[in-house]
Structure 1
Amino acid sequence: MGSNTLTSMHEIRRSQRAEGPAAILAVSTVNPPNCVSQEEYPDYYFRVTKSQHLTDLKQKLKTFCQMTSTEKRYFHHTEELLDAHPEFLCRDKPSLDARLDIAAAAAPELAASAAAKAIAEWGRPATDITHLVVSTNSGAHAPGADLRLASLLGLRASVCRTMLNLNGCSAGAASLRLAKDLAENNRGARVLVACVELTVVAFRGPEEACPHRLISQAVFGDGAGAVIVGADGVLSVERPLFEMVSASQTTIPATDGVLTMQLTEAGLDGDIFTRELTPLAAQHIGQCLTDAFQPLGIMSGGAGWNDLFFVVHPGLRGIMDHIDGALRLDPGKLAASRTVLREYGNMLGARLIFVLDEQRRRMEEDGETGEWGVMMGFGPGFTVETMVLHAVVIDLHDEN
Structure 2
Amino acid sequence: MTTVHQIRRAQRADGPAAVLAIGTANPKGSMLQDDYADYYFRVTNSEHHAELKDKLKRICKKSGIERRYAHLDEELLSAHPDFSDRTLPTLDARIDMASAAVPELGASAAVRAIAEWGRPVADVTHLVFSTYSGGKAPSADLRLASLLGLRPTVSRIILSLNGCSGGGRAMQLAKELAENNRGARVLLACCELTLIAFYGPQEGRLDTILGHGIFGDGAGAVIIGADPVDCIERPLFEMVFATQTTIPETEDEITMRLMKGGLDFHVSVRVPKLLKSKIERCLIDAFQSIGISAEWNDLFWAIHPGGRAILGQVEQLLGLGVDKLAASRRVLREYGNMSGATVIFVLDELRRRRARGEEVAEWGVMMAFGPGITIETMVLHATSILEEN
TM range (shorter): over 0.9
Q: What TM-score comes out, normalization by structure 1 length? A: 0.95
Q: SS at 1:227's partner residue?
A: strand
Match of 1:58 in 2: 53
Q: Among 126, 133, 136, which residue is 2:131 paired with?
A: 136
The separation in 1 between residues aligned to 2:313 and 2:215, in whole angstroms, is 20
Residue-by-residue CA offset, 1:145-184 (whole Å, 9 max, x unaligned): 1001001001000000000000010000000000000000
Ranges in structure 2 where 5+ consecutive residues have no aligned partner:
none
Q: SS at 1:77's partner residue?
A: coil
Match of 1:371 in 2: 362
Q: Does 1:112 align with 2:107?
A: yes
Change (3 A) 1:241 1:395: closer
Q: Among 82, 86, 95, which residue is 1:91 paired with?
A: 86
How far did residue 77 of structure 1 move? 0.6
The separation in 1 between residues aligned to 2:15 and 2:265, in whole angstroms, is 41
How far did residue 210 of structure 1 move? 2.7
Q: Does 1:11 align with 2:11?
A: no
Structural mapping, 1:100-179, within 5 Å: 100-179=95-174
How far did residue 368 of structure 1 move? 1.4
Match of 1:310 in 2: 301
Q: SS at 1:158's partner residue?
A: coil
Change (3 A) 1:71 1:394: closer
How far did residue 8 of structure 1 move? 1.4
Ranges in structure 1 where 5+ consecutive residues have no aligned partner:
none
How far did residue 191 of structure 1 move? 0.1
Residue-by-residue CA offset, 1:251-280 (whole Å, 9 max, x unaligned): 000111111111111100021111x11112
Q: Does 1:180 align with 2:171?
A: no
Contact 2:183/2:226 (8 A) holds in 1: yes
How far did residue 57 of structure 1 move? 1.6
The separation in 1 between residues aligned to 2:60 and 2:186, in whole angstroms, is 37
The separation in 1 between residues aligned to 2:90 and 2:199, in whole angstroms, is 10
Q: Does 1:326 align with 2:303?
A: no
Match of 2:224 in 1: 229
Structural mapping, 1:18-97, within 5 Å: 18-97=13-92
- Percent identity (aligned): 59
Match of 1:388 in 2: 379
The separation in 1 between residues aligned to 2:338 and 2:207, in whole angstroms, is 19
Match of 1:340 in 2: 331
Q: SS at 1:156's partner residue?
A: coil
The separation in 1 between residues aligned to 2:11 and 2:322, in whole angstroms, is 45
Change (3 A) 1:39 1:179: same
Contact 2:354/2:386 (8 A) holds in 1: no
The separation in 2 between residues aligned to 1:95 and 1:395, in whole angstroms, is 47
The separation in 2 between residues aligned to 1:110 and 1:158, in whole angstroms, is 23
How far did residue 11 of structure 1 move? 1.0
Q: SS at 1:279's partner residue?
A: helix
Q: SS at 2:282's partner residue?
A: helix
| Cα-Cα RMSD | 1.2
Aligned residue pairs: how many? 388
The separation in 2 between residues aligned to 1:211 and 1:307, in whole angstroms, is 38
Q: Among 297, 306, 309, which residue is 2:291 paired with?
A: 297
Q: Among 285, 288, 291, which residue is 2:282 paired with?
A: 288
Structure of higher CA gyration radius: 1
Q: Among 189, 192, 204, which residue is 2:187 paired with?
A: 192
How far did residue 291 of structure 1 move? 0.4
Q: Does 1:255 align with 2:250?
A: yes
